Chain A
Amino acid sequence: MYKIVEKRALAPQIFLMDIEAPRVAKSAKAGQFVIIKMDEKGERIPLTISDFDVKRGTVTIVVQTIGCSTKEMENYEVGDSFLDFVGPLGQASELMSESIEELKNKKIMFIAGGLGTAPVYPQVKWLNEQGVKADVIIGAKAKEYVIMEEEMKSVAGTVYPCTDDGSYGYKGLVTNKLKELVQNEGKKYDLVIAIGPMIMMKFVCKLTEELGITTIVSMNPIMVDGTGMCGGCRLTVDGETKFACVDGPEFDGHKVDFAEAMRRQTMYKSQEVSKTEGIKPGCGLVGGTK
């Protein structure tokens, strides 16, 4: 059993949890994910690691209530336990395989969409520990949905909040903000790392391709085991089939087939709406939680 030792709301429908899992905390790296199965009958839910504390033996996750499994998770309180918690899964962020000198010479921009801010944080934090300051665009629907801004500011260069409704920071999409920074303010970036909803990552990649900036995205497809066994998370990268769980979750965004990836995310959607014949109705889409 894996005990919840801290829980707090970050925004409407978004909450953070610190979970006791010493083995995972000890080996976790930025960019990796965990799988949680709440109880005997639960789904295996993949969630990106938002932070970890080796001394306390805890791993932090940030969850948005989008399906009934994540809604159920919201009912768990401090002191409760999850039945299963496994990780860290997937490859660590590619940044970690580069030399510090190389990274210091790079101007890096993170683009965090909504809940995607959570997995961006450990990467920016890690860079900061190496003496590299990265900039971050945080995109959200409205002010109350901007999460982890203070934490981010403490480890980032400049943080640019953007909201769709203009209630906070820049009014407009993250892509417009990036375009403005590069084209109007003369900012130069060598690398963009975008984590957020699939549709946002797709449009960021479209823009950065035009701007000629290498872009890494973190994919969050449907999966079961997370260890390469089921192949449910397969996607096409540069014309080749890859398994997000073991080959990723991070990929070169300019090579990802987003249309296919977005379509595959709807695999069980009909089940949520109607009990289609021959299909067991699912509880909720997992994935989309990054």
Chain B
Amino acid sequence: MSIKKRVPIAEQDPKVRATNFEEVCQGYTEDEAVEEASRCLNCKKPMCITKCPVAIDIPGFIQHVKKREFVEAVKVIDKYSTLPAVCGRVCPQETQCESKCILGIKGDAVAIGKLERFVGDYSREHNVDLSETKPKKGIKVAVIGSGPSGLTCAGELAKDGYDVTIFEALHEAGGVLIYGIPEFRLPKETVVKHEVENVVKLGVKIETNVIIGRTVTINQLMEEEDFKAIFIGSGAGLPMFMGIPGENLNGVFSANEFLTRNNLMKAFKEGYKTPIRVGKKVAVVGGGNVAMDAVRTSVRLGSEGHIVYRRSESELPARAEEVHHAKEEGVIMDLLVNPLEILGDAAGNVIGMKCIRMELGEPDASGRRRPVELKGTEFTMDVDTVIMSLGTSPNPLIPLTTEGLDINKKKCIIAEDGTGLTSIDNVYAGGDAVSGAATVILAMEAGKKAAKAINEMLSK
């Protein structure tokens, strides 16, 4: 029996989408979703689930989609995840659930991610009520940060009947889903806001503009405001720079700044007052998903976008889909190239970037082949904007202002595997604040496990 091909999904034409911020992938219609779902073999031992960090009953929800029982499908996923429309869009399914799909051995794996997205979108578009919780316990729990780990932890605890308040430092809830991932991959007004609202409907309160460690400390929350447990999901928001000459010239930005101006502050939209500066030729240094987001954003703002990455294409940490989309949109990949210095004019504006070509040597500690400079291959790239996308590290503010909260060398909060318990009783942590920059779904897993541990601890 030959395996049917995966049902193709509608995408905006690359030439058109490179000029707008509308979503690239347009999702399955009901018929397409049903057809794709019917490819699932409903394995007795579903391997896909083993690779899902939150262990969603994948065949379970797909069987409901196959039978057009969409509301039932929504309810299956909701048992495991409060952010299906987000995860369906940004999870690296190709290395997780879909990588274990039996169909993938001889053909296309079932499009689990696209089906999850369909179910998440269906839930929103049809206002499926997911606000059911256990009876209220009247016990207060504080969650710090409203990104994926915080939202998940808060949602789970609210379902268990806790009185949960999320404290968010920025003016809008969603964390990296709001300030980091661009509109064309993850629409804010529809998708993110709705999934945040779902958490609010469970009874979770969100206090924006509260910086834990500055506005109020963890000790104050416990001693003065009667919170019985705390979950820290403050993410990894601090940008790294290369430390090369010229990095403080005008026209050099961290990817965080560039994306925050565009996504959180909506600089791309008419009427919004936050300025953004992007020149005629932009070099984004780095090869992760954030680098792809930054370069694709710069293309949409009207510039020629380059990715400058010191290894080759097969080492790019970004998802294959993002690299593919970037290329389709005209992004130029300058691979095996490493910046040495950013050059400026007399007024301090960027006028070029001195680089050197690289080759791959022996594998390093990460298992990837180490890039080595090729002597005498220095050249100057003609660019007027440089965006550094080299990764981020956790913000030290909470550890600095919380006595007894232990961190490791990488400034990550030390938390127990499986529960997220930190060095302080009743204080838990998870997501990028513990792991360093990782994925949305791993942060959700940590939030979920911590919620379970908090519930067990407070039920004693």
Contact = CB atoms under 8 A, between A and B. Distances in A.
Interface residues of A, number: 46
B430 to A, nearest CB: 19
A225 B211 CA distance: 11
Interface of A: 23-24, 26-27, 37, 41-44, 68-69, 83-89, 224-225, 227-232, 234-236, 241, 246, 260, 263-264, 266-268, 271, 277-284
A10 to B, nearest CB: 25
B457 interface: no
B260 A225 contact: yes
A229 B215 contact: no
Interface string B167-188: 0011100000001000000000
B171 A224 contact: no
A23 B216 contact: yes
A281 B260 CA distance: 17
A280 B276 contact: yes
Contacts, number: 131
29 contacts: A23-B216, A27-B215, A41-B272, A42-B273, A43-B275, A44-B265, A44-B274, A68-B273, A83-B171, A84-B209, A87-B211, A88-B214, A89-B214, A225-B170, A228-B238, A229-B237, A229-B395, A230-B239, A230-B254, A231-B253, A235-B248, A246-B397, A263-B250, A264-B248, A278-B280, A280-B267, A280-B268, A280-B301, A282-B274
The interface residues of chain B, by DSSP majority, are classed as loop
Contacts of A268: 275, 277
Contacts of B397: 227-228, 246
B227 to A, nearest CB: 15
A2 B216 CA distance: 17
B265 to A, nearest CB: 7
Interface string B219-248: 000000000000000000111010000011
Given A231-B256, A267-B250, A224 B274 contact: yes
A269 to B, nearest CB: 9
B102 interface: no
Nearest to A32: B214
A230 B257 contact: yes
Contacts of B303: 278
A87 B257 contact: no
B260 A282 contact: no
Contact of B273 (A229, A246, A279, A282): A282
Contacts of A85: 209
B96 interface: no
Contacts of B264: 224
Given A264-B248, A280-B275, 6 more contacts: A42-B273, A89-B211, A230-B260, A231-B254, A279-B278, A280-B277
Given A227-B169, A227-B237, A230-B239, A271 B275 contact: yes
